[in-house]
A and B are shown apart, each in its own frame.
Chain A
């Protein structure tokens, strides 16, 4: 399923911390809490002295004249951080802060006229103090997002409400970008982007929606956000190969690409060619492939002339040993072919069908099967038919050989169907190719013998030359 063009909102109600999500991993999180009980988190360490919180009057009971003042005090109260790794520490304080956050969320979401200018710096400060932190080292250095359960953020009961507040703040009808941009600046956004590496999927879900809103409302930050996402991706591709939030960032980009103006700027084309296409080389491709393929197809739908770059790029990075990835690549190719313009198809059909032929002869039946499924796609079939003169000679030898050799019966019968389709498409060409196939085979055999001879001659010469070289 494709990601929606706009990232979905996290489904949470702001009165109760989403209990069922926490319950997904009860045993693990309990064990962790016990193991690390006596240690404070990276975040907590920097709180110099613990302040005792006292409950403030409720916002809804406050007289209008004092509302803003009380709101501000509650924001300041929420700047106090608690140690969640010690689950019994300062329960009273934690409860007061939780209640205050809940009230702030509700107030900013439901009442109009609360967000006045003096509250902006206080609100952004409260958000920064709570969410910006150095993410702790992964508990499991070989963390595999597909296999392992993620480490959940211990302070989520508060953190979730802070994120919820931030989101409601951005979405409030009172929200004024011109005021916010003084506080939500480049440095703020950079720190926000770094949080996408969080192992906790709930946190990344919030970040995704929030960044999307920031991108939508604060126009001055757009180019900067795109550039920093580029940097994160490039680092992921070429340096660390580890970043938990690639899928979420791609989902945001999917909707950003959707809104690109035409003709595409060279910056955007560069992003496609130098960042999105190389992202296909990542070991963990399976985690974000759906989002990546969506972005790629978005680009094509915007501007058909990028098709050739995309296909040639995919062919360049075609997986050589990982069949799981090969199946993903084939899936993406099919998505691309689904929307390709016939004129573009003609430009890339030759290299593309050479690769498809190679996939059909893969000993891994899932790869072969995925490639052969292309012939079940009506649009692709119509493209093949139009270009039968070019494509059939490219794949014929492979089809013929694999139909006789493949170990898997399903593949053999799929190939027969494909051969039958071709025969019906152009029987004359089909017969010609069948006739020349045997001759070809014989020729190839002889060429092979000859080239073995060359290698031997060459090695001999190499030794002679080498001896000479050493002498002089």
Chain B
């Protein structure tokens, strides 16, 4: 079938086709990935009559090749001649939908779902639906699981007799002997319910749902909980009580924690699906139970939903429900024995303050926040601190600041560097909310202490933090509070601290502006070029390159250039390298600058700073003098 006869340009295609049969997997894989090119070269007719049958036969290949094939075939409609011929793709995809490997099978089902849309209603009944039926009654479980994903795509577009058959097949699979198939059916139950007529939802789906939700295997039952959301959304309010609620209540009290976990995890969706009345009467007590569940996993999942659940309560008696039913459980969770539960709660509890308002927050929530701020587990404290903005809006942060400080200080000195790193990341946010005064008074020392942390990642984050603080509080603040301290470290006996000065200068120079950079920072950097440690010297070169664009050209020529030239003849190889790098960087810059009068400099500097815009462009945009 190689199409090379008499046409040299098709020779590569012939090679590709040969490689489809090569014994090296990688070559077959490459070839399969270029399948659309092969098909294009062969033309639609030969693709249908030669390529597809060939591919159908190669199904006994490595899973990797099959996966690529399954994916390709989903985009093949045009290559076999358009929607009219799309059913030619069904045989290879049908075989792929029966293989053992889940990834391949899922991809084949995905492609089948895709091309099902391209079938005409007639073709759907003549070609596609029979395929679904064959898969649904296959011997081995793989084909039956694949079938589960195909019912919903063909159901809406077939005649009512065929619809009845499809429903029957789905029903059969829901009570399949193999749990794998029942799981597949349960996971598609919601999707299938959505395309069914309401009468059949009530008659068929509900009975299947009830049966799956009381399956002997908990892995099936928990999937029914997911379906519950879709089903409840479809039914009119008056039917929910009799058709859905008994099953949902049973799931919330299931003997397997996995099922209860699923209920907790889907609680917000369930709440929206069943509406306010049922929520008030049924879900509130159910939620209370989940918050008090004996398994920590379930409590943590429920704790995660506290804020969302409260938000979605009907407004008329939201406050009353929260205060009398939810808050007592929340209070208990604050002192839970499991840290995952506490930290899940800490990540959402602050959100309650917006719902409950100022007075309730101060009276009831504040003690909880404060308790969590003192929790033994750093993650809990971090979660509280990271959500301070919610409280800030309601009661202002002052109420908390006295307790906040010890918590922050403790986290800042935590033995685990990841904890320290996390609190550093919240510093700019805290600074913004606590204000500059409080910051100077209490937190500034901390921020400076991180600069000499023994973990590099902390020093790096501390540097970045300073930059953000300067962006927030301004250059003047920087000049008075942090720049002197940073520059002071240049004389530290530890070379790592001296390098930190350079890193800080790199980060701060832009935010501080030309004046501070030239007058205060540059002299320090230049002085450090005589440092005895090579690492410091080459970082001087790097820093000079970095701050160069912020300096004025005079300083560059008279101060920076000589120092760089001196470093370029250093004895150390790395120092030389970085000095030369910096010099050549400046040369490029200078070449654009020199022909222009001084006032053009500013523009070219700023352009350089933004990125690599070529000199040519500069010459066009800057009006030439004379």
User: Taking beta carbons and an 8 Å cutoff, which residues of A are in contact with B?
Assistant: 35-42, 44-46, 134, 136-137, 187, 190, 231, 234-235, 238-239, 274, 278, 316, 454, 457-458, 461-462, 465-466, 469
Contacts and interface: CB of A to CB of B under 8 A. Distances in A.
Contacts of B141: 234
A234 B11 CA distance: 45
B297 interface: yes
A42 B216 contact: no
Contact of B255 (A134, A238, A239, A461): A134
With most chain A CB atoms within 10 A of its CB, the pick from B9, B34, B101, B294 is: B294
Contacts, number: 71
A37 B257 CA distance: 19
A469 B337 contact: no
B40 A458 contact: no
Given A39-B337, A239-B183, A454-B15, 4 more contacts: A41-B294, A134-B256, A134-B257, A137-B296
A5 B12 CA distance: 58
A97 B467 CA distance: 68
Interface string B252-267: 0001111000000000
10 contacts: A134-B218, A134-B258, A136-B295, A137-B296, A234-B141, A235-B219, A454-B11, A454-B15, A461-B13, A465-B40
A6 B256 CA distance: 33
Contact of A136 (B16, B140, B179, B257): B257
Contacts of B15: 454, 458
Contact of A137 (B34, B183, B295): B295
A458 B40 CA distance: 13
A36 B12 contact: no
A465 B38 CA distance: 10
Nearest to A273: B100
B294 A458 contact: no
Contacts of B140: 274
Nearest to A42: B257
B589 interface: no
Nearest to A134: B256
B37 interface: yes
Nearest to B256: A134
Interface in B336-384: 337-338
B34 A235 contact: no
Contacts of B101: 238
Interface residues of B, number: 33
B390 interface: no
A238 B180 contact: yes
Contacts of B9: 461
A235 B180 contact: yes
Contacts of B258: 134
Nearest to A190: B216
B12 A454 contact: yes
Contacts of B183: 239
B37 A465 contact: yes
Contacts of A35: 337-338
- Nearest first, the 4 closest Cβ-Cβ pairs linking A and B are A458-B12, A134-B256, A137-B297, A238-B102
A462 B180 contact: no
Interface string B393-418: 00000000000000000000000000
Given A234-B141, A239-B180, A457-B12, A45 B100 contact: no
B62 interface: yes
A37 B37 CA distance: 66
Contact of A235 (B12, B179, B216, B255): B179
Contacts of A457: 11-12
Nearest to A228: B179
B49 interface: no
A278 B102 CA distance: 12
B557 interface: no
B41 interface: yes
B239 to A, nearest CB: 31
B260 to A, nearest CB: 10
B12 A40 contact: no
Nearest to A460: B12
Interface in B210-247: 216, 218-219
Interface string B122-138: 00000000000000000
A35 B13 CA distance: 67
A457 B14 CA distance: 12
Nearest to A137: B297
Interface string B141-159: 1000000000000000000
